[in-house]
Amino acid sequence: MPRSAGYRAYGTRFEGYTLVELVVVITITGIMAAYIAPRFWTQQTFSDRGYVDELAAALRSTQKAAVITGCAAQLTLSPSSYAATQQAASGNACNPSDTTWSTPLLSADGSAIQNTAPANTTASPSGVFRFDTQGRLSSSPATTVTVGTHTITILAGTGLVQVQ
């Protein structure tokens, strides 16, 4: 008789795996996969990347608003949220004596440039990232912002925002 994979012939009797053995192995493999798989594939990496891209876009919008309006603009970053604002207007110019920075910056769709981070996602360092009327970073707690394993770098001399 020809030999089949997994079977050995001994006279007229064939030996192999029984149905019970196969079911036990498949069950154990399924239990291990259900326990181990979530530790390898979490949503956190995707949440961090989405938030870092969103935060970088908010920084770019803040920088562009400072250049376009001729008034300094700032993005206030906390570990779990951000909001972009400008100094209040005084006629057709900005009011440099305004220390409240109460005017929210608006995105292209008319909503305020602000948001909160997804669960378990934090940004550091916290502080105010201020852009001057030339788009340069005039003050900030640092030129690099870290979100999970991702970083945002802001070149102080030009205001260029890069995600890595």
Other beta carbons within 10 Å of 50: 15
Mean pLDDT of the chain: 89
- Give the domain CATH number at 152: 3.55.40.10
In a shared domain, residues 50 and 24: no
Domain that holds residue 16: 8-40
Please say whether the beta carbons of 66 and 154 come within 8 A: no
In a shared domain, residues 82 and 52: yes
In a shared domain, residues 88 and 120: yes
| Between 41 and 34, residue with greater pLDDT | 34
| Between 61 and 14, residue with greater pLDDT | 61
In a shared domain, residues 18 and 70: no
In a shared domain, residues 29 and 87: no
Q: Which pTM was predicted?
A: 0.75
Percent of the chain surpassing pLDDT 90: 66
Residue 1 within any structural domain of the chain: no
Residue 80 within any structural domain of the chain: yes
Mean of the pLDDT values across residues 81-91? 90
